[in-house]
Amino acid sequence: MQKISVVIICKNEEDSIGRCLQSLHGLTDDIVVLDNGSTDSTKEIIKSYPVRLIEESWMGFGKTKNKATGMAKYDWVLNLDADEAVEGELKNAISNLSLANENEVFNIRFKNFLGDACLRFGEWGGDRHIRIFNRTKVNWDDAIVHENLALPEDVKITRLAGFIFHYTMKDIAQYADKMLRYALLNAEKYAEQGKKSSWIKIYFAPIFAFLKYYIFKLGFLDGEAGFICARMTSYYTFIKYSRLKELKNFTKDH
């Protein structure tokens, strides 16, 4: 088996976590799942697999991921979300990595799904992310949402064959709930960074977001799923800037 740890953080992912863990069978002997307060059957499902379940409180995405990464057995880490799965070609590519260069990171292509529909265009089309890195050289920033990896200047980025399958949302209700939560978190992040909102952003940024992903990035070619994704991103943008303006007004009043 490859000397790489898989690190996953999750909460209330009973519909996804089993598929994620099953996709990792035979890849490694160290899978760390950090659960931050699941109230459904997520933890019971995790316990049915040969993985380490760790229960910790939520500290925001960046800090929580770093906490989980620090508990890994190996310095090389594959980071996954609970709603993702590793397909066969990618698993084979990971199994054959030399992992000799600590300054090397690995960029992986994604196939994103809304329900059963694979999103080939728009915001989700052509998606790829760095998900394998050595924690002695690379780790996450402390952002509460939309966290990023801090990469060294001499980093080598290598693209891997295969895909991570990302099952974004099972239905529109779950999609809307997730967009609302992320919009509110990102508004807090922007407020902490001193960024400002305005009525121009509140009115026009959502329109631009829709046009960008539905028209200019060809989201319309994904049919109904493409329209839903573009509309949800527009909704997310509206909530984010509206909440940011509200937070700034609250700060001025107090």
Instruction: Among 3.40.630.30, 3.90.550.10, 1.10.3720.10, 3.40.50.300, name the CATH number for the domain at 5-169.
Output: 3.90.550.10
Taking the CB of residue 39, how many other CB atoms lie within 10 A of it? 9
Reduced to 3 states (helix: H, G, I; strand: E, B; else coil), residue 1 is coil
- Domains of the chain: which residue ranges? 5-169, 172-253
Look up residue 73 and give its two tokens: 């057995």
Residue 251 banded pLDDT, cuts 50, 70, 90: low
Between 6-10, 137-141, 199-203, 248-252, the lowest mean confidence (pLDDT) is in 248-252
The model's pLDDT over 200-231, given as tens digits with 9 standing for 90+, comes to 999 999 999 999 999 999 999 999 999 999 99
| Residue 151: closest CA among 162, 163, 135 | 135
Q: Long-range contacts: 231-235, Cβ < 8 Å, 24+?
A: 232/175, 232/176, 232/179, 233/123, 233/179, 233/209, 234/206, 234/207, 234/209, 234/210, 235/176, 235/179, 235/183, 235/206
User: How high is the pLDDT of residue 254?
Assistant: 55
Reduced to 3 states (helix: H, G, I; strand: E, B; else coil), residue 76 is strand
C-alpha 163/C-alpha 21 separation (Å) is: 16
Task: Tell me the average pLDDT across 160-184.
Answer: 92
pTM (2 d.p.): 0.89
| CA terminus-to-terminus distance, the chain | 57
185, 144 in Cβ contact below 8 A? yes
Side chain identity, residue 25:
H
